[in-house]
């Protein structure tokens, strides 16, 4: 939880992450601030997540950029897709949301498999316009994630265990929605 959520609303975190096994692939949800913590995404990826969904609510550009950069970093580290979906604009009906900043985006790892099927060089598959409430679309194929993890130019997911200072990851529940 962010400082505001902890100190003003007294919200506490949950017990375990969840990865959803769906007909579209394995999905996990990292809400806003969660995207800024590599070990949460790592736990989801190790449980098989191919797509991380990141809804967010940021009232400054600083917050938007932290979530966006975190989302792009998680796409790189996890060799996966990340879909960032912020609330954007004015919500006069809600004192908790009021005015939010951001732009929706779909990111992948900036990598290309030797046999093709890579991602854009900057990892950005689609990006909305900051401050504009809009739909943002991208076509993704979770088989690309599997291909990059198996034979990408870099093998980040495979090499995580070799990093010094390995720590226990948060628990993850895998839930079948098939």
pLDDT tens digits, 115-148: 656 789 999 999 999 999 899 999 999 999 999 9
Query: What local confidence, expressed as pLDDT, does residue 140 receive?
Result: 94
- Higher local confidence (pLDDT), 134 or 2: 134
Long-range contact set of residues 152-155: C-beta below 8 Å, sequence gap at least 24 = 152/79, 152/109, 152/111, 152/112, 152/113, 152/118, 153/111, 153/112, 153/113, 153/114, 153/118, 154/111
pTM over 0.75: yes
* Percent of the chain clearing pLDDT 90 (strictly above): 69
Q: Are 44 and 30 in contact (CB under 8 A)?
A: yes
* pLDDT at residue 7 is higher than 80: no
**Phi and psi torsions of 51, nearest 5°:** -135, 130
Query: What local confidence, expressed as pLDDT, does residue 36 receive?
Result: 94
* Percent of the chain clearing pLDDT 70 (strictly above): 96
Query: What local confidence, expressed as pLDDT, does residue 113 receive?
Result: 65
């Amino acid at each position: 939880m962010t400082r505001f959520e902890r100190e003003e609303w007294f919200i506490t975190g949950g017990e375990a992450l969840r990865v959803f096994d769906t007909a579209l692939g394995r999905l996990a949800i990292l809400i806003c601030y969660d995207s800024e913590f590599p070990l949460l995404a790592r736990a989801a990826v190790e449980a098989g997540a191919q797509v991380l969904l990141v809804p967010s609510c940021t009232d400054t550009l600083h917050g938007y950029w932290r979530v966006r950069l975190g989302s792009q970093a998680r796409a790189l580290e996890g060799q996966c897709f990340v879909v960032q979906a912020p609330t954007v604009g004015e919500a006069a009906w809600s004192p908790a949301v009021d005015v939010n900043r951001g732009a929706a985006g779909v990111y992948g790892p900036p990598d290309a498999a030797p046999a093709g099927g890579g991602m854009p060089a900057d990892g950005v598959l689609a990006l909305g316009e900051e401050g504009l409430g809009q739909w943002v679309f991208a076509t993704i194929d979770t088989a690309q994630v599997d291909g990059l993890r198996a034979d990408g130019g870099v093998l980040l997911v495979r090499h995580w265990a070799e990093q010094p200072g390995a720590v226990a990851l948060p628990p993850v529940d895998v839930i079948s929605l098939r």
